[in-house]
Chains A and B, each alone.
Chain A
């Protein structure tokens, strides 16, 4: 067994010993399964209108009630999971790829690349995440793909910072010198020698930012800048539900609960991963 394998299995064991993290992982997997199997597990069609049971309270045929069009709230929440998870996961993957690439390059090559990339990162970090998300969505317009790009662009500077720091600190170490002496090219050094050193941290950050990305998506949909109705998303269900808050408070409450549970699950996994990757940190 190599040293790398030993570290990895120690981290896996540390993660599995952490009860909170395991519960979070189970919930996150469950939500993902529900999203994938949405058409199979939901009791109704998300767009089917039951005009005789509009704004029906929770119970009976509609366990979580119906909205003002008589659509089943539970079904729409199940289908909404698809949008939330797709946006959460893919926007973070985009941010991770883009940010890590730019950060590593800036930290390794220094000079002009560093100057340009890190100044842009500084400027982008001067915007609150949500304000930046609003701005990018206003430019791109609404839609699933655009949401992913918008949130990905907003989060990328965070990953760039992390990768940059790692590249700067690792580039002067002996094993990088050794690799260079053996004739490895810069990209080989970056990908094979520097990236593995930060990959754990990037993964931790990716999980925690997935939780944030899901929250940003909900925020944007709530404002009306996300995926357009009638496609159900948790954010736009709350947006529509708020209009009926006095007569049918369950309309905004249940989709919000779905957001809370999912975001909480990802945060629990992220915390557990962080403790497993770096046991010195006290959280």
Chain B
């Protein structure tokens, strides 16, 4: 198991390096001069040139490439061009908001989606099935930011149950939860839709297997068939789906943070993009890519926990 984890981490290194190279090049070809972005359009030529020198932008590309790579290895994410603060400090402040939101969304999706998916599959072509299928199709067609706006209109503006914006105070759990509720609900609804749909289809596939027919034929009660034969075998595809859609959810969390003005990584990234803060942008995009690679690894590892037949060697 540990050898497998070590090998997967080793394999992730070239991917991360390639991702870094790509982002580095993308950000360099993006229009606009970072020094001008930092100083504003009316800065004097000399001031811009001085800042370019100071930021190392006059060095050859490969020097810049290696310098920022070495920085990352030491945990230095550079300094924001706009407010000159270390990006790592901004990331540290924003990370908890993004993590709690994404985690809550995935958790809600799994907790509601898996039972609903199983139920719709077992009641195939009956009312619960039609209802579940329709709702999940709507849920995966709705843009996350729009769902957020609808929830905001209903629960924050009309009913006044929840605050309209912000991330709340992290040191006060009650305040934090009140701010988390609506954004988490909107991601949770979308995740639930994905999970319901895929759980249904994987349970339906397992229901057709010979061993399910055998279990029924030998007189097992339906409940026992469902729990020990159908569900256990359907869980692997379900786990992989939760993994795949967690990646989609990370993208949706960016929009949800923007709508609810949550001070998370996504809002930081969109802000950096609109202000052409390339240093911060590059670091934030890399962090998102790192998340994706991490989730893929965790998904693969979860197979071993679910299915004892899976061996990591």
Q: Taking beta carbons and an 8 Å cutoff, which residues of A are in contact with B?
A: 119, 122-124, 126-131, 134-136, 138-139, 141, 211, 215, 218-219, 222-225, 238, 242, 245-246, 249, 252-253, 256, 259-260, 263-264, 267-268, 271, 281-283
Segment at the A interface, from B44-52, B134-142, B171-179: B134-142
> Which among A131, A211, A268 is the interface contact of B285 at CB below 8 angstroms?
A131
B interface residues with partner A (beta carbon < 8 Å) = 15, 18-19, 22-23, 26, 29-31, 137-138, 140-143, 145-146, 149-150, 152-153, 157, 197, 200-201, 204-205, 247-248, 250-252, 254-255, 258-259, 269-270, 273-274, 276, 281, 285, 288-289, 292-293
A119-B18, A264-B137 as given contacts; A139 in contact with B269, CB under 8 Å: no
A253 touches B138 (CB 8 A): no
Given contacts A123-B18, A129-B248, A282-B204, is CB(A219)–CB(B143) below 8 Å? yes
Nearest CB of A to B209, in Å:
12
Q: Are B251 and A129 in contact (CB under 8 A)?
A: yes
Flag if B285 contacts A238 (CB, 8 Å): no
A129, B144: Cα distance in complex, Å: 14
Q: Which of B204, B255, B269, B289 contacts A219 (CB 8 A)?
A: B255
Q: Given the interface contacts A223-B258, A245-B152, A256-B149, does A267 sit within 8 Å of B281 by beta carbon?
A: no
Does the CB pair B145–A222 fall under 8 Å? yes
From residue B120, how far is it (CB to closest CB) to chain A in Å? 11
Known: A119-B18, A126-B289, A126-B292. A138 touches B281 (CB 8 A): yes
In terms of DSSP, what is the predominant structure of the interface of chain B? helix
The answer to whether A253 touches B150 (Cβ under 8 A) is yes
* Distance of A252 Cα from B30 Cα, bound (Å): 31
A-B contact count (CB 8 A): 123
Task: Give which listed residue, B31, B142, B259, contacts A260 with CB less than 8 A.
Answer: B142
Name the CB-closest residue of A to B293.
Answer: A126
- B22 nearest in chain A by CB position: A123
Closest residue of B by beta carbon distance from A123: B18
Chain B residue at minimal CB-CB distance from A222: B145
Report A110 CB to chain B, min CB distance, Å. Answer: 20
Q: How many Å from the CB of B23 to the closest CB on chain A?
A: 7
Contact of A127 among B153, B200, B285 (CB under 8 A): B285
B-side contacts of A281, CB under 8 Å: 201
Which residues of the partner chain B approach A130 to less than 8 Å between Cβ atoms? 251-252, 254-255
Given contact pairs A128-B250, A131-B251, A283-B201, A259 touches B146 in the complex (Cβ within 8 A): yes
Contact between chains at B157 and A246 (CB < 8 Å): yes
Q: Nearest CB to that of B282 among chain A residues?
A: A135
